[in-house]
Chain A
Amino acid sequence: MPDLKVAVVSQQAKYGYGEPICMTLEVRNLSQRRLFLVAHRAYARKVGARGLEVLVGQAALATSLYYYRFVPPDLRSVSPKATAKLPISVGLPLRESLIDNHGIYIERDVPLDGKVSVAVVIGYLLTEFRPKTNDPWGEFVQQQKLFDAPVITVNLSPH
C-alpha cells in the first residue's frame, strides 16, 4: 500500500510561450502516520523530446559536486488521512548553463513545446529532519522517499 495518493491539476490545458505551468498537487496521506512533504524546493528538467520531469523534493547532489552549506527544505506535516494542497509553478522556458571556450558563463533556453508530458515526483520524509553528519544534503536525500504522481499532459506554444 503506498503512503500517498496524488492528483496533479494543471490550471490550464495550454500555455503560451514563456508562461509558467501552474499546477496544484493534491496529496493525500494514506498511511497511519504523520508524513512530512517537501514543500518549498523543486527542480524541473526536460526529458526526451517532449517530456518535463518536476521533482518537488530535494535532488541528490550531482556526481563530483561539492557544496558549502546545505539548508534543508521546509517540510509540511500531513496528518494520517489528511490532504495537503501544494501549488507549484514551473517557469518556462527552462534554462541551462555552460562555460564556453573563453571561460564565459552562458545561460540559454531549453526549447520545449507541443504536447508535453509532465511527470511530477514528490519527496517526503517519515520523520522530521535532524542531521547528524557533516553531509546533511546526503542524509536528507537518503531519508527522503519519492512518489511518482500520475503523468499529465499540457500543450506548450512554440516561441
Chain B
Amino acid sequence: MTLVVNESKPGDRDLVIGWLREICSAAQVNAQSGSVNVSGAGPFQPNYTSGCTCLQTIISSGLTVTIQLLDGPGSTIPNTLHTIGSTSGGATTVTNPADAGKEHGIPGVGKGPGADMTVYIDRSNNAQADGRTGYADPADPKTFAPLWLILAHELTTGHAFHGIQGDTSETRNGAEFQAITSENAHRAEHGLTKRTLQPVEMPK
C-alpha cells in the first residue's frame, strides 16, 4: 500500500523528509496525506541512493509502513512497557498486535505473510532537562547517532522492510544482524564508522 508519515505534531513530516533524504535524496512526502514517494527530480548534491530501492519496495508492497514520531525519551511505545529512550531513539513493531509473528519467515517454507509495521522515532533526539540531546552512536559511543541513521536501521532493509516482506529472522540476534547490515550500508555511503556485527547463522 504505502509508506506514510503521521503528523502527530505540526512539522513532523518536514522533520522526517529531511531524514529520508539522507537515505534517498529523491524522497518526497505528500504534505496532505503523508505518503512518501521517491520520484523527486534531481540533480541532488550530495545524491544519497543507498535506501531508494528499499523505499520503493516498501511503497510498492501490499502493506503499510507508518513512521510515527514520539515526544521524548520517556514516551512509551504503544502496546508495550518500553519507552523510546530505552530503545535508543528508534523502535519498530507490528502495527496491529494481532499480527505479531507474521513478520517472520516460515522455517523450511520461506517468507511469511508479512505485516503492517510502525516505526517509532524520538523526535526530541533524547532531549534532557538540562538541554542536552543525542543518542550515543553504537559504533563510536563518544559521538551521537543522527536520527536519520536510527530511522534507516528501523526502516530501509531494516526491521520494517523485513517485517512487510515476511522475512524477519526468527531469532532476535538474526533480526538485529539484518538491520545492522542495512545500517552499515548507509554508514558507508555517508563515510561513517560501521557498527560491529557478530556473525549469525541464518536459517536457509
Binding site for B on A (CB under 8 A): 43, 45, 59, 61-71, 95-99, 103-105, 107, 132-135, 137-138
**B window 156-185: CB within 8 A of A:** 159, 168, 171-177, 179-180
For A66, list chain B residues within 8 Å (CB): 91-93, 154, 159, 168, 172, 175-176, 179
In B81-135, which residues have CB < 8 Å from any A CB? 81-82, 86-94, 97, 99-101, 103, 115, 118, 135
Shortest A141–chain B CB gap in Å is 10
With A132-B198, A137-B172 already in contact, the answer to whether A43 and B92 are too (CB < 8 A) is no
Q: Which residues of B contact A137 (CB under 8 A)?
A: 172
Whether B76 pairs with A95 at a CB distance below 8 angstroms is yes
B87 touches A64 (CB 8 A): no
Task: Report Cα–Cα, A54/B76, bound state, in Å.
Answer: 16
Q: Which residue of A67, A97, A132 has the most chain B CB atoms within 10 A of its CB atom? A: A67
Q: Cα distance A133–B198 when bound, in Å?
A: 6
Determine if A64 and B103 form an interchain contact, defined as CB atoms under 8 angstroms apart. Answer: yes
Report which B residues bind A (CB closer than 8 A).
Answer: 6-8, 34, 66, 68-71, 75-82, 86-94, 97, 99-101, 103, 115, 118, 135-136, 138, 145, 150, 153-154, 159, 168, 171-177, 179-180, 197-198, 200
Whether B103 lies near A68 (C-beta < 8 A) is no
**A-B residue pairs in contact (CB < 8 Å), sample of 7:** A62-B80, A62-B82, A62-B93, A64-B101, A66-B91, A133-B176, A134-B200
Q: How many A-B residue pairs have CB under 8 A?
A: 117
In the bound complex, CA of A45 to CA of B76 (Å): 12
Known: A61-B82, A134-B198. A69 touches B76 (CB 8 A): no
Chain A hits for B87, CB < 8 A: 67-70
- Among A68, A104, A105, A107, the most chain B Cβ lie within 10 Å of the Cβ of A68
* CB atoms of A134 and B80 under 8 A apart: no
With both beta carbons as reference points, the residue of chain A lying nearest to B76 in the complex is identified as A97
Contact assessment for A105 and B200 in the assembled complex, using a CB-CB cutoff below 8 Å: no
Across the interface, which residues of A come within 8 angstroms of B103, CB to CB? 64
Pairwise interchain contact A138-B82, C-beta atoms closer than 8 A:
no
- Docked Cα-Cα span, A137 to B88, in Å, equals 12
Please state if B68 and A133 are interface contacts (CB–CB under 8 Å): no
What's the Cα separation between A67 and B99 when bound, in Å?
A: 18
A105 to B77: give the CA distance in the assembly, Å. Answer: 10
